Amino acid sequence: MSKSSSIRFSSDRDFYDDSFILNELGEYREQYFQAVSPPIFQTSNFVFKTVESLGKAFEDEYGAHLYSRGLNPTSDILRKKLAALDGAEDCLVFNSGSSAIFASVFGNVESGDHIVSVKYPYTWAQKMFENVLPRFNVTTTYIDGRNFENFENAIRENTRIIYLESPNSWNFAIQDLKAVAKLATEKGIITICDNSYCTPIYQKPIHLGIDMVLQSATKYIGGHSDVVGGVLTGKQAMMKNIFNRELLNMGNGCTPYNAWLLLRGLRTLKVRLAHIAQTTQKVIQYLNGHEKIEKVIFPFDPDFPQYELAKKQMTGACGLFTVVLKARSRQQVVDFCESLQHILMAVSWGGHESLAIPKCASIPSKDFDNNNPEHRMIRFYVGLEDAEYIIKDIEQALDKVKV
Ligand code: PLP
């Protein structure tokens, strides 16, 4: 297997089509007996024949296979494919999406810096902004990212990062990525976008000018609810800095086995998303206008307030959407969720199995307010089952809710 330094991140990556990336790019089959599926290089360390080559690896671990806390040939294949899918120069893979979030932000701030973040980012991004970064004198201002002016107004002299998540995974709030990237570039601010909802198949923030893009690979890339992982892409210099500091220090890179599982998931990403997107449309069609559903929230629904922007910057929307149930009490939301027989109640998304999760699970019973539609929200994830199977399950659970 060649050293990582010979695994080039091609500058003509924009010309690779997805089929080539998913099936061939980054694979060196002649180096492992022409096996179609690459081996899991389950090794902690790598051998050197000369002191000079060992010395070179110490000097630049980002260009060498030295020790698998850093680079490993199995994860290199994954990195190369993910970078190309995003249209990025380079990619790092982590042991979770949260690790990718932490490394991308922590690696780019210093004491005294300020961050502008969209309101309600993913829970552990928010916890980092509120519980970790203030200990290092880094502050965060949350804004409603649906309104571009809010970015202009929130930026300060010491703003270092604009943190985006588009769409958000509950209310699907979207930011105009191209406009925010332009503003940030003019001001010398780094932009980071959580692209877990769309994946690079349905949105390419780097093409819109965003500096760094991350995803929870646990979701659609893994695709089978059996692996936790994270992806970060961007300019090679940025990735190298994060590799040499955050990734090597925290030791939070993806293991070879998990990289292999993610590679396996990646092969079928596009077909899974296409199937899920089709099924989701059918499920939404059933729910829209149902007497017990107050509202369906989905970015590719023509009634979605940011529908035009969604269509402009996303080429697809897939399995996540939220409904507001016309319930008269918390108990009715509970009854609905607990009546589902095939759709599982669990966090996450992106696997083969459909899921539902009620907002009220994270609201203490005494604070539940039936007049607040958010409290009656249920987020659905449509998996790989047939639409009719999913609809039938929702239907029988809705029948149990007396409105
Ligand atoms: N970003 C979003 C939008 C998420 O929903 C999640 C996890 O649910 C993450 C990031 C974090 O990913 P992970 O769970 O792989 O750490």
Residues 358 and 212 grouped into a single domain: no
Measuring from atom 13 of ligand 1, which residue has the nearest CA? 97
- Residue 277's domain comprises 269-399
209, 181 contact by CB (below 8 A): yes
Both 286 and 177 in a single domain?
no
Q: Is the bond preceding 38 in cis, omega lying within 30 degrees of 0? A: no
Q: How far apart are CA 347 and CA 345, in angstroms?
A: 7
Q: Count the residues in the chain.
A: 403
Task: Note whether residue 11 is domain-resident.
Answer: no
Q: Which of 81, 67, 5, 13 is nearest to 263 (CA)?
A: 81
- Per-residue pLDDT tens digits for 317-335: 999 999 999 999 999 999 9
**For residue 289, what pLDDT band results from cuts at 50, 70 and 90?**
confident
Q: Are residues 214 and 131 in the same domain?
A: yes
Q: 258 alpha carbon to ligand 1 midpoint, in Å?
A: 16
CATH number of the domain within which 136 lies: 3.40.640.10
CA distance 156 to 240: 28
In terms of domains, do 260 and 280 share one? no
Burial class (CB in 10 A: 0-12, 13-18, 19+), 384: middle
Evaluate: CB of 126 within 6 angstroms of ligand 1. Answer: no
Residues 294-308: tens digit of each pLDDT: 999 999 999 999 999
What is residue 84's three-state secondary structure?
helix
Residue 319 DSSP symbol: S
The pLDDT of residue 214 is 98
pLDDT tens-place string over residues 204-258: 999 999 999 999 999 999 999 999 999 999 999 999 999 999 999 999 999 999 9
Over residues 361-396, the pLDDT tens digits come to 999 999 999 999 999 999 999 999 999 999 999 999
Give the total number of structural domains in the chain: 2
If asked whether residues 230 and 279 sit together in one domain, one would say: no
Average pLDDT for the chain = 95
Q: Which of 233, 267, 301 is the last residue of a domain?
A: 267
The response to whether residue 94 sits with its C-beta less than 6 Å from ligand 1 reads no
CA dihedral 199, 202, 208, 214 (to 10 degrees): 0
Q: Which residues contact 326 (CB under 8 A, 6 or more apart)?
A: 291, 292, 293, 294, 376, 401, 403
Same domain flag for 207 and 69: yes
Any atom of ligand 1 within 6 Å of the Cβ of 381: no
Ligand 1 touching residue 173 (CB < 6 A): no
Please state, in angstroms and rounded to a whole number, the distance separating the CA atoms of residues 305 and 100: 30
For residue 192, report the distance from its CA to the centre of ligand 1, in Å.
14
Q: Is it the case that residue 92 has pLDDT exceeding 60?
A: yes
Q: Which residues pair with 356 in a beta bridge?
A: 345, 380
216 Cα–ligand 1 center, Å: 5
Residue 46 is assigned to a structural domain of this protein? yes
Average pLDDT over residues 36-44: 97
Which residue, of 251, 267, 283, is where some domain finishes?
267
Q: Would you say residue 9 has pLDDT above 60?
A: no
Q: Are residues 248 and 274 in the same domain?
A: no
Q: Is the peptide bond preceding residue 256 cis, with omega within 30 degrees of 0?
A: no
Does the pLDDT of residue 126 top 60, yes or no? yes
Q: Which atom of ligand 1 is nearest to the CA of 228?
A: 15
Q: Which tens digits make up the pLDDT trace of 154-207? A: 999 999 999 999 999 999 999 999 999 999 999 999 999 999 999 999 999 999
Domain membership flag for residue 2: no
Question: Is residue 96 in contact with ligand 1, taking CB distance under 6 Å?
Answer: yes
Structure tokens at 371: 């007049």
Residue 200 placed within a domain:
yes
Q: Is residue 298 part of a domain?
A: yes
Which atom of ligand 1 lies closest to the CA of 217? 15
Using the mean position of ligand 1's atoms as its centre, give its distance from the Cα of residue 243 in Å: 20
Interstrand relation of 190-194 and 212-216 (parallel, antiparallel or unpaired): parallel
User: Which domain-ending residue is among 234, 249, 267?
Assistant: 267
Q: Are residues 183 and 117 in the same domain?
A: yes
- Note whether residue 231 is domain-resident: yes
Identify residue 339 by its one-letter amino acid code. Answer: S
Among candidate residues 359, 369, 363, the one with its CA nearest the CA of residue 323: 359
Q: Do strands 114-118 and 139-143 pair parallel, antiparallel, or not at all (unpaired)?
A: parallel
- Asked if 384 and 281 sit in the same domain, the reply is yes
In a domain? residue 164? yes
One domain, residues 301 and 260: no
pLDDT for 1 beyond 90: no
Question: Taking 70 as the threshold, does the pLDDT of residue 54 lie above it?
Answer: yes
Asked whether residue 312 carries a pLDDT value surpassing 90, the answer given is: yes
Task: Tell me whether residue 108 is in a domain.
Answer: yes
112 with 203, same domain? yes
- Spacing, Cα 163 to ligand 1 middle (Å): 14
Q: Which pLDDT score is estimated for 15?
A: 59
Query: Under DSSP, is residue 246 helix (H, G, I), strand (E, B) or coil?
Result: helix
320 and 349 Cβ atoms separated by less than 8 Å: yes
Q: What is this structure's pTM?
A: 0.95
The amino acid at residue 233 is T
Distance (angstroms) between ligand 1 centre and the Cα of 213 equals: 13
pLDDT of residue 403: 74
Which stretches does DSSP call E strand in 156-244? Answer: 159-165, 190-194, 212-216, 230-234
Helix axis angle, 269-287 to 387-399, nearest 10°: 40
Based on the fold, state whether residues 63 and 159 are members of the same structural domain: yes
CA 268 vs. chain centroid, Å, equals 17
Whether 378 and 337 have beta carbons less than 8 Å apart is answered as: yes
